[in-house]
Structure 1
Amino acid sequence: MSWRGILTLVLLVAAAISGWSVWTHRPSRNAATTADARSDYLLHDFELVVLDKQGQEAFTLHAPQLERHPGDKTMSLATPVFTIPPAPGSKSGTWEVRSKTGWVSAEGNELRLRGDVVATNAAGGDSVKLATQELNVFPDTKRATSAGDVTITQPGSILRGHGMNALLDSKRIQLKSNVKGRYVPSGG
């Protein structure tokens, strides 16, 4: 074999090895997706009214920042303030819910609030205040749940417990365990 044949064969082998190396060390599609996983959009200092399937107001949201995630269409929030109106015909009044962070499902039917969560309702003279570190709110069904410690403050009483189910329209709140109550006389 001539030196040109040997050189051609060596260059052909080197090209095959280079091609194989480039193919096996290419970035995966998952890495490309992660790099492109930035927000669809960001909102700053905004108010958003979300409607339910019947066209009624499910909740209103005020926050300094909202970030929508393109993959699952959920939204992350910084220091949100939600107002959740009562169902038509209910006398419970509007709930105002504040927290450090928030998350809204793609359909807008679940809110996850974390960090110093406070929910208040002052309708009908029977003010109620819920305080917890985590609260899940379901605006369509006017329900709220918590798996953590909850403090409920009402005129004349303070209740503390672990875990909670609440029907927001009727202000019916059930603490699941470790319930402790304290009578607080009205000042007057």
Structure 2
Amino acid sequence: MDRRNWLVIAILAVIAFAAWMEVWLIRARNANDDFVGPPRSDYTLNNFTLDALDQEGAYAFSVKGPRMARRGDDGSSYIIQPDYEIIDNGGNTWKGKSESAWIDKDGNVMKLEGAVAMHRVATETVQRVDVLSSDMTITTDPKLKDAQGRPIANAPHRDQRMETAAPTTIFEANSVTHSIGMKADLDLKTTEMLSDVHMISLPGKR
């Protein structure tokens, strides 16, 4: 093989190597693009107790459980087997449990997933009320703000509601009520049983 043929082979080899390097660099650059941007801020807590405040620093709820995962993209939290406590508009304490729960970052929406068991703690002024249901959503209205985005002093209290489309049983001092679906405020001053309602009266029970 003469010198000219060797020269052609060498040139082709250089071209082939350059093409391979270009492909490799493009692949490496594309792979690096997947990691562009700030690191995710997700975190998890095990065997935790959390006292949650809203954006203005007011008490929203407390919850404890074996595990909580917080999403960095939207600030929401997912909790396994939560044991929670909520204060209603009348200052009454509600305690409950569910299989899991999802809470938005502001603490205004709490979705209790799976079986739900909750009760209002009895005091000198209110009797105990028990609620058994599933897949329930508890919503708290955001605080009223002025044109500058500041909380309005002495604004009306924020309504708190609970709602479910699932079968529900409410145990009160003198009655037991069953229904499919329910809407209520947390102190049960107004309760709407949506369909297939059955009530058992327990006269004389205290």
TM-score above 0.5, yes or no = yes
Aligned pairs for 1:7-156 within 5 A: 7-13=10-16, 15-16=18-19, 19-20=22-23, 23=26, 27=31, 40-87=42-89, 90=90, 93-123=92-122, 124-140=125-141, 141-156=159-174
Measure, in 2, the Cα distance between the counterparts of 1:9 and 1:162. 78
Of residues 1, 6, 17, the one that matches 1:3 is 6
Shift of residue 176, structure 1, vs aligned partner: 1.5
Q: 1:77 to 1:29 in 2, by over 3 A?
A: farther
Does structure 1 residue 165 correspond to structure 2 residue 183? yes
**CA contact 1:155–1:186 (8 Å) conserved in 2:** no
One-letter amino acid matched to 1:6: I
Measure, in 1, the Cα distance between the counterparts of 2:197 and 2:32. 52
Measure, in 1, the Cα distance between the counterparts of 2:163 and 2:32. 40
Q: Residues 21-61 of structure 1: CA distance to partner in whole angstroms, max 9, x if unpaired?
A: 7746955967x69xx76x72222222221223443311111
Normalised by the size of structure 2, how large is the TM-score? 0.72
Number of matched pairs: 181
Q: Greater CA deviation, 176-185 or 127-136?
A: 176-185
Measure, in 2, the Cα distance between the counterparts of 1:9 and 1:163. 76
Structure 2: where are the runs of 5+ without partners? 142-158
**CA contact 2:54–2:106 (8 Å) conserved in 1:** no
Measure, in 2, the Cα distance between the counterparts of 1:186 and 1:15. 94
Q: Residues 67-121 of structure 1: CA distance to partner in whole angstroms, max 9, x if unpaired?
A: 111122111111111111133xx26x11112111111111211111112211211
Measure, in 1, the Cα distance between the counterparts of 2:21 and 2:188. 71
Identity rate, percent: 26
**CA contact 2:174–2:205 (8 Å) conserved in 1:** no
Structure 1: where are the runs of 5+ without partners? none
Measure, in 1, the Cα distance between the counterparts of 2:33 and 2:75. 20
Counterpart of 1:72 in 2: which secondary structure?
A: coil
Measure, in 2, the Cα distance between the counterparts of 1:85 and 1:6. 83
Measure, in 1, the Cα distance between the counterparts of 2:65 and 2:140. 18
Q: Which runs of 4+ in 1 moved over 6 A?
A: none
CA radius of gyration, larger in: 2
Q: Greater CA deviation, 148-157 or 45-54?
A: 45-54
**CA contact 1:84–1:139 (8 Å) conserved in 2:** no
**CA contact 2:84–2:96 (8 Å) conserved in 1:** yes
**CA contact 2:95–2:121 (8 Å) conserved in 1:** no
